[in-house]
Structure 1
Amino acid sequence: MTDLDRGTAPGSAHRWGQGRRRLLLGAGMLVFPALTAVAMSGTVSGWAAVAGYAVVAVFCLCYALTAVALERGRRHWIKPLLAAMTVLFLAALPFAHADAFFLATVVVSAVAVLWREHAARVVTAATLAALLVPWAVRPWHSGPGGFQALALLFTALTCGAFAEIAATNQQLVAARAEVARLASEAERDRIARDLHDLLGHSLTAITVKSRLAQRLADRDRDHAVAEMAAVETLSRQALSDVRAAVTGYREVTLGGELARARELLRAAGVVADLPTAADAVGPEHRELFGWVLREGITNAVRHARAARCSVELTATSVEIRDDGVGGTGDGSAVSRTGRGGTADGKGLTGLRERVAAAGGTVEAGPLAPRGWRLLVTVPPGRPDTPHEGTT
């Protein structure tokens, strides 16, 4: 069960993982000073025993201060405290003999946790010292410190492994937070792109039909009323599109976009040369080509001031041409909002993203002597994935 399953706040879980749990687990290391203190009862007595116990007590105090420093993030305390603990370990050797190396186990384990890059050298050296020093000091009347060396080695390795696991968990938490952030940004980008593409078309159609209804109001009232009814229908459709875009469930079909394009061009007074059907395009490309058609026709009506607009469909391409502003006699670009030759508008940028996800290419630019062309080509036989990477 995770912290979230238990209802624990993420910040509280982080503090527990970083401080309190480490402090609790670190308390188990106090068993080694206890072993050293017990061993002194068999090696020294009287004032020597008192001095030995005092050394162990101060060692435990330094260890507790080290734990507090880690809990409070005061890392500048740690090196001086570990140095003091090392001196106390050396001071305990005359009293506890080989069992003083239990104190060294605590110091070496701390190094394995806090400075993992030096852990191998420190653990190796300390293990060899724990093994050989009791044998080399003849007055102690003991052989190699095998038990102390094994305790030091395996405890340090266990603590080092724990530190690695803790670091990995921190990285996983950070990676999960980054994935969540990127997913949130991708979803915002998807909604922004879809709203632009959906509302750009719908609002352009509403604007065109409203102007047409105004012009017809005086001379053909019935026709004007019909156009305003169409405006109401478009408004309801726009609202539905917005809801679908926000929830991620929206469907664009090539056949539906051809019908909308024909109606929008008629309302704008533009002669439409459109295919009567979308049979030439395979099912795998129809949604993408629907988005292309929506963007191209919307731009032609909104910016081109064209008299004619044509659409040509093939199995792997869709081309939209108009004879409006956008090109001069020499073919150079004329500034047209959303259609400029030097910078893409938001609609064209979003369209390039959709087409790139399908492995296709976008060509957009002016025609000579005037006009504009939008050509999208996709590889044959590859299904388009216009929403890939955005949902």
Structure 2
Amino acid sequence: MSMGIGRPPGNRKQMAIKSLWIGVWLAFMSAPIKDLADGTHTPWATALGTLGLVVFVGCYLALVFRPSPRMLTPVQVRIALTFLSALAVTLSLTLGSPWLVLFVYVSVSAGAALPLRTARWLIPAATAVLVAIGFTGGHPREIITALVFPALLGGFSMTGIRQMILTTIELREARATVAQLAANEERLRLARDLHDLLGHSLSLITLKSELAGRMLPDHPEQAAAQVADIEQVSRQALVDVRSAVTGYRRPTLPGELAGARTALAAAGITAAIPAEPPENLPEKPEEVLAWALREAVTNVVRHSGARSCKVTLAPRQTLDGRVLELTVSDDGRGASGTAVGNGLTGIAERLATVDGTLTTRATDPRSGKGFTITLSVPVESDLGFPE
């Protein structure tokens, strides 16, 4: 499963992937490394150059390797960039042409760590310093021109990546806020419904209990009648509560489609999910399909290692009548990477209650990759689908 944008690596594999992605761009450091290895400098210059290069790379990685642009304060970012720039100027002036490449990393660091309004002038400034040092130092023109484009392109590319990460983080925070607001609204609705269901019944039980207590010494028959009324009211209240709780617990297709969209997006899986389910779907088939969709998407998220998942919901005419088909397919490891035990057994048992069927297959039969589950439930011919 891919690592979410703007999130820290969750395991060693993700850490290795991110390190490899960033480490590839350190290939430009081969020029100063080769300059040190050639032995053209004095031992002191070589030692100080090596130390400066190690410190430079460490500072660069501290700015770029962060999973979130918000992990360092603006003051810390400015101090690090100032130090990085000063080190690039010092090493370039003292050790020669191969060290001009450090300004490319200064430009990239500025794009990765600074807001666009600041980076858009600092990146050209770093490039201008590169050119100025190159020409004043008599360095080969081809080296200077070869570094200008990577410095500008790399810096401004990182501003786009930084903005994408910030936007992703903001969307994730907004999604969490919406989920929290929805949960709060659901709690308020539950409290309101319970008050409407039980408020009158409990008040009536209290009044009748007090009345029965006053009648008991002198009118036991009337007290018994009040107790019988109390029993009837309490039984009806219990029925109402059970009915309400059953309604809360029953999943619906709109809710599960929205939940599947959120779960797959949070897992970094590209999802293609219908916006709305068909209209006029009977309650029992809808509940069965909703449970099945939840279980199928959970398997994709937890076990498949997929990069994409597609959910389709469409009617189909068969020899036995009209059915509604729910299909969940992914491009993951296949049946070997999917929980096909209790989960599918539970889906099959639920489908049996509405005379439904379940089939599974590999998404790509030739390679055996991917996993596709198809569920069919019989429906009436007048089932409506949204336009």
Q: If the length of structure 1 is used for normalisation, what is the TM-score?
A: 0.49
Q: Give 1 or 2 for the bigger CA radius of gyration.
A: 1
Asked which structure has the greater RCO (Cα within 8 Å, sep 6+), the reply is 2
Give the TM-score, by structure 2 length.
0.49
